[in-house]
């Protein structure tokens, strides 16, 4: 009886492990062959110039991003990220990196992994590029509503 139970538990574990690669594929759509500007050069928001078609009041810099390693290899703790205010869901696409205000008031910088509609309207699921799972709330993917999105990354230096 014990051996049958053990075989069942191991079988369930193996099936679950294999399914995790189907449900949460491990891939990145980022071209990491393009060189990044390294933080070695000590850039700051006053020494970086770039072209932006839009209202400059809608652009800001975030330097102090919490180091959780969730966005490696795209972003790290020394990254300088330029954000743009987002006015509608039409400006948001899969794999955009967004700044989300969490329910506890803290902010999270993750990519859009899924976009959907439900009875309450538009929502997305987010995920760190270095994370295996989408961001969860009580063991379920956390639906991020447009109202909680503070901005969209338009460029970054690391």
Do 77 and 57 contact (CB within 8 A), yes or no?
A: no
- pLDDT for the residue numbered 85: 92
- pLDDT for the residue numbered 15: 64
Report the predicted TM-score, pTM, of the whole model to 2 decimal places. 0.65
- pLDDT for the residue numbered 119: 96
- pLDDT for the residue numbered 42: 45
List pLDDT tens digits, range 19-45.
555 444 444 444 444 444 433 344 444
Domain 27-157: CATH architecture, name and number where available = Ribbon (2.10)
Q: Which two tokens stand for residue 124?
A: 């997305």
User: With b meaning 16 or more CB within 10 Å and e meaning fewer, what string describes 34-57?
Assistant: eeeeeeeeebeeeeeeeeeeeeee
- Rounded to whole angstroms, the Cα distance separating 64 from 9 reads 44
- pLDDT for the residue numbered 43: 45
Instruction: Count how many residues are written for the chain.
Output: 158
List pLDDT tens digits, range 82-93.
899 999 999 999
Residues (pLDDT < 50) of the chain are: 22-45, 47, 49-50
- Rounded to whole angstroms, the Cα distance separating 129 from 112 reads 10
- pLDDT for the residue numbered 99: 92
Q: Which two tokens stand for residue 1?
A: 């009886």
């Amino acid at each position: 009886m014990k051996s049958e139970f053990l075989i069942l538990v191991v079988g369930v574990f193996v099936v679950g492990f294999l399914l995790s690669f189907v449900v949460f594929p491990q891939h990145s759509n980022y071209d990491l062959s393009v060189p990044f500007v390294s933080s070695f050069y000590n850039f700051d928001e006053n020494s970086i110039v770039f072209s932006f078609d839009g209202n400059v009041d809608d652009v800001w810099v975030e330097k102090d991003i919490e180091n959780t390693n969730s966005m490696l290899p795209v972003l790290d703790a020394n990254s300088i990220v330029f954000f743009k205010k987002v006015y509608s869901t039409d400006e948001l696409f899969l794999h955009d990196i967004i700044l989300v205000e969490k329910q506890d008031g803290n902010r999270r910088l993750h990519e859009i992994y899924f976009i959907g509609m439900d009875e309450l309207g538009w929502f997305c699921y987010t995920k760190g590029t270095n994370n295996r799972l989408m961001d969860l709330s009580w063991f379920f993917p956390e639906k991020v509503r447009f109202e909680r999105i503070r901005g969209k990354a338009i460029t970054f230096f690391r």
